[in-house]
Amino acid sequence: MSYSYLDETDKEFLPELGLQTVGDPITLTKKLEVAGYECLPYLAFQIALILNTRTEDSKIRALLLEGPSGCGKSFLAKSLAKITQAELLVLSCYNGMETRNLIEAPSSFALASAMAGHGTPSQDSLMNLGILSRAYLTSQKKPVILLVDELDKPDTSIDTFFLGPIQDGIIWLESRPPIEADGDNLLLIFTKNFNRKLDDALLRRVHPITMTYLDSSLERKILSAHCNPILIENLVRVADIMRYSGGSYQFDRPPAPEELLTTGKYITLLLDWGVTDFGFVGAAVWNIISKSEHDRAVLEHMLRYHPDFMDPLVPDNKGAPTEVIQARFGRVLLKNLVIDPRESEREKAWDSI
């Protein structure tokens, strides 16, 4: 069964209050599109299933989004918050993170006030609610999405930490009575890359979704409002090789749609300014499409040796300066947009091989 994008006006897909207002997969796809997120069909079905299915007893809905860096996991959570008018809380995980502060933590201000003799503070004022407690408390009044980003950076103890809150829908505190969440108003979204496996007990309590990069048709759609169609084809072609090279070129973080869009906007602006030098354009966007030192080295290697980028006028790919490779990159991105002054030489050189 296939579903095409709807043609109705955006007014029919304005944000609505509540996690259960996303509608069926087609409606959800259109709502996310209006919010700026292009959703793959299978992903829309998975999200619509969990949000339209009531949980058992007090169990909290929880999504696990796993996929490579840059495939849009966090952006999806933010877009869901937009279309449901949910308050978005974000917990960015890191190695060595203490889980106890996610429930409650001592209030430095209250302790300092007490030590200064400004009255006797109440027990609950001595403790600040952590982000998990605040999410559960907020759900009693309005919809809230808690994004737990990069769950696989801390060790496995954090997996166990979430078991009770998800299963029972209650946060137990020392400073005040327990906080019971409204399950209809709360969605936990965990994201992870591929750093480690999660605990089996947590996996049983979440709805896992494996995410991938957008397909080329959706990527073109994102870029179409901002870039020349020829430039879009050039960008998507490069990005696809960076992502799907079959292991030949191992990028840590291939370009996400937002990075392709930024690259496209930069190139469009450079052309508007009359900048058509291949080397200048290639160097200008080199660090945008390959963010890390490792990925820039891999990009350079790809442009030197991938058969689609070979240049008969530069036979010594190994010894060619980086500036020459960046100019090759610019020529690839500006193909059929800017006249190559050495095109006839290249054609003759290819014919002679």
pTM of the model: 0.78
306 and 196 part of one domain? no
Best CA proximity match to 80, nearest among 111, 118, 48, 41: 48
In this structure, the answer to whether residues 44 and 164 fall within a common structural domain is yes
Residue (of 37, 59, 353, 44) closest to 222 by Cα position = 37
Give the range of the structural domain holding residue 226, as residue numbers without chain letter: 216-352
Q: Are residues 184 and 227 in the same domain?
A: no
Domain boundary among 179, 210, 241: 210
pLDDT in tens, 78-116: 999 999 999 999 999 999 888 888 998 876 555 556 555
Residues 88 and 206 in one domain: yes
Q: Are residues 156 and 234 in the same domain?
A: no
* Domains identified in the chain, total number: 2
Question: Which amino acid type is present at position 129?
Answer: L
What would the pLDDT profile of 61-88 be if each residue is shown by its tens digit? 999 999 887 788 999 999 999 999 999 9
Q: Give, for all 353 residues of the chain, the pLDDT tens digit.
A: 333 333 444 556 778 889 999 999 999 999 999 888 889 999 999 999 999 987 767 799 999 999 887 788 999 999 999 999 999 999 999 998 888 889 988 765 555 565 555 555 565 656 789 999 999 999 999 999 999 999 999 999 999 999 999 999 999 998 889 999 999 999 999 999 888 899 999 999 999 999 987 778 888 888 998 999 999 999 999 998 988 876 678 888 888 888 899 999 999 999 999 999 999 999 999 999 998 999 999 999 999 999 999 899 888 888 999 999 999 999 999 999 999 998 888 888 888 87
Reference 227, options 276, 266, 283; nearest CA is 266
Question: Quick check: is 344 in a domain?
Answer: yes
